């Protein structure tokens, strides 16, 4: 589905963020202030969100590997169900955390919409595969994992904002949108170029047959 180099970078990033999320669950002393606030006011929802997100981001990377999928189709199906369950728990708890988030309506709307898109794209991916529509399933999974990868991009942008000396209170309203909207746009561009490439190849093959 994606080339090996891109998949390797994406997977390593996903593993790193998954480990970090699990570390935040286990060790309170390393939690940033805004994460401490979440655990203080919404401990159960925060735990579910972090755990669901960590599982989804880890599993999703391997689900996108076409070579792994071809070799281990049965495992792919089992992991797919776990991925959907993880997103369901992570997305629902994320929505609750979003509407109660600090930073005002802009932050709350950004993260709430992210949770809705996360749930919607994932459930659509599951719905179409139940209908045996593999191509549509692949496209919806790309969109779903693009939102899942907000866990990576959010932390990248948070780190960048610290390096640039931007205060958290100023960066957070922007990051509530920046961490996932561009991801979806990139996913759509990827799918558009891939579809056009297939159509061009098919037209070329049809011309060669005459």
Note the pLDDT of residue 208: 52
Higher per-residue pLDDT: 70 or 22 = 22
Work out the burial of residue 46: count CB atoms within 10 Å of its CB; fewer than 13 is exposed, 13-18 middle, 19 or more buried: buried
pLDDT score of 23 more than 80:
yes
| Alpha-carbon separation of residue 98 from 101, 114, 160, 170, 179 (angstroms) | 5, 9, 22, 17, 14
> Angle of helix 105-130 relative to helix 134-148, nearest 10 degrees?
160
Note the pLDDT of residue 206: 41
Note the pLDDT of residue 3: 72
CA-closest candidate to residue 8, choices 79, 68, 53:
68
Note the pLDDT of residue 199: 55
CA distance 102 to 110: 12
pTM: 0.89
pLDDT in tens, 178-204: 999 999 999 999 999 887 765 554 555
* Span 69-91, average pLDDT: 95
Note the pLDDT of residue 200: 57
* Span 90-115, average pLDDT: 95
CA distance 28 to 30: 6
pLDDT in tens, 53-64: 999 999 999 998
Residue 117: CB atoms within 10 A of its CB come to: 20
In the chain, the percentage of residues whose pLDDT exceeds 70 is 92
Residue 147 CA, chain-centre distance (Å), reads 3
Instruction: Kindly state the tokens that stand for 100.
Output: 């109660």
Note the pLDDT of residue 185: 97
């Amino acid at each position: 589905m994606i080339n090996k180099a891109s998949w390797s970078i994406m997977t390593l990033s996903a593993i790193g963020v998954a480990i970090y999320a699990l570390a935040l669950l286990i060790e309170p002393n390393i939690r940033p202030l805004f994460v401490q606030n979440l655990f203080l006011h919404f401990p159960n929802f925060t735990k579910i969100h972090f755990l669901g997100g960590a599982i989804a981001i880890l599993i999703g990377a391997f689900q996108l590997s076409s070579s792994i999928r071809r070799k281990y189709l049965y495992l792919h199906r089992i992991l797919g169900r776990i991925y959907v369950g993880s997103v369901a728990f992570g997305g629902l708890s994320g929505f609750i955390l979003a509407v109660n988030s600090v930073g005002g309506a802009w932050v709350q709307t950004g993260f709430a919409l992210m949770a809705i898109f996360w749930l919607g794209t994932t459930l659509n991916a599951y719905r179409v595969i139940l209908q045996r529509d593999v191509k549509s399933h692949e496209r919806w999974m790309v969109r779903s994992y693009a939102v899942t990868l907000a866990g990576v991009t959010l932390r990248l942008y948070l780190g960048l904002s610290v390096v640039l000396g931007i205060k958290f209170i100023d960066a957070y309203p922007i990051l509530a949108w920046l961490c996932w909207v561009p991801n979806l746009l990139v996913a759509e561009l990827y799918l558009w170029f891939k579809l056009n490439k297939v159509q061009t190849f098919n037209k070329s093959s049809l011309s060669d047959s005459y």
